[in-house]
Amino acid sequence: MVAGPLVVLAAIVIEAFPYLAITELSGAKVMVVEGWMDPAPMQEAAELILDSNYTRVYTTGTVRRFAHYLSPDEGITVQLHIPFQGEVRINVSGTAGAGFLLIAGTDTLMDQAVTPQPQLYNGHVPNAVDRIRLVAWHLPLETGTPEIYVASLTLNGMNINVLQRRSWFTFPDAVAQPGWPTYAQSARSELMKLGVPGDRITAVPAYGKPRSRTWGNAHAFGIQAREDGITAFDVATVGVHARRSRDLFRTACGPGVRVGVIALTDPYCTQANWWRSFRGWITMLKEVVGASEAQAVELTR
């Protein structure tokens, strides 16, 4: 009884791979890179930009979790949209001898050594502040490379990146740099590290909490494309997500814009290996189910 439907489902999903993981170029030298991708496809995107001489690059992305590695004396300052008071929670781990300062306004809320295992630290801000600052420290007698990893930072249970107006990284011997509240900004920084000139790259963040991450990216870029007069571009995304991305970017930009797509390699979901892993099956089924998302968006507009 069960075997029949499973065989049919497997056949549909197997045939779906080449349909979903498409590459069709627009002919333009403008690329849009979806910022949520893993390092391997991001590396591939950087190589394509340089090898194919894309002259303009846009990175898209919704709000990301507040997650960062910090070395001694490196810090992050977050300026909030509205003053905050209440409960602060931060999840941190680190190497021996490492720790952090958490400063709310001008008051030190936490001065805490960390452990190799992630720990959740709680604090309370009694008076409204508009700025939160995190700084890593270390004990000078400890050997090795001290470092902390911040897995999350929430204010009254909300991701601080959702609440920020702007943020910036600080360094002991360097100029401050803009923060990464969204995957658009973090992808821009990553592409620059991979050799793409920063003057080619524009981050197009999608703030808020869109029900669909891809639609949030596409909608934000559609606005940017109209402002910049973009009439053709290629979307670089991962594997079987390609068709859905292309269709949603087409919907967001309108019929006057040519939208190409590049299916970058997803090492966890290739045509040869996806059926061997749980992650591969979930990825395929998610894209089969989501293939009609663009039509659904169009119907609700």
Q: pLDDT tens across 134-158, in order? A: 999 998 866 667 899 999 999 999 9
pLDDT at 292: 55
Task: State how far the Cα of 142 lies from the Cα of 291, in Å rounded to an integer.
Answer: 53
Helix, strand or coil, per DSSP, at residue 254:
coil
Q: What is the CA radius of gyration of the chain?
A: 22
Asked whether the beta carbons of 109 and 29 are under 8 A apart, the reply is no
Higher pLDDT residue, 298 or 59? Answer: 59
Parse the chain into domains and list their residue ranges: 19-64+185-300, 68-179
State both tokens at 121. Answer: 């630290």
Task: Determine whether 249 is exposed, middle or buried from the number of CB atoms within 10 Å of its CB (0-12, 13-18, 19+).
Answer: buried
The most distant pair of C-alpha atoms in the chain lies apart, rounded to whole Å, by 68
Confidence (pTM):
0.84
Whole-number pLDDT of residue 299: 39
Half-sphere exposure for 33 (CA within 13 Å, toward CB): 36
Tell me what pLDDT residue 205 has. Answer: 94
Using a 10 angstrom Cβ sphere, with 0-12 exposed, 13-18 middle and 19 or more buried, the burial of residue 233 is: buried
pLDDT in tens, 244-277: 999 999 999 999 999 999 999 988 777 777 767 7
Query: Which tens digits make up the pLDDT trace of 170-224?
Result: 999 888 999 999 999 999 999 999 999 999 999 999 987 766 788 999 999 999 9
Strand order of the β-sheet with 201-206 is 201-206, 56-62, 30-34, 232-238, 258-264
* Residue 58 half-sphere exposure toward CB, CA atoms < 13 A: 24
CATH C-level class of 68-179? mainly beta
For the segment 68-93, what is each residue's pLDDT rounded down to a tens digit? 999 999 999 999 999 999 999 999 99
Q: What is the 3-state secondary structure (H, E, C) of 45-65?
A: HHHHHHHCCCCEEEEEEEECC
Q: Tell me which fold the domain 19-64+185-300 belongs to.
A: Rossmann fold (3.40.50)
- Residues 111-139 as b/e (b if ≥16 CB within 10 A, e otherwise) read ebebeeeeeeeeeebeeebebbbbbbbbe
Spatial separation of the C-alpha atoms in residues 241 and 36, rounded to whole Å: 12
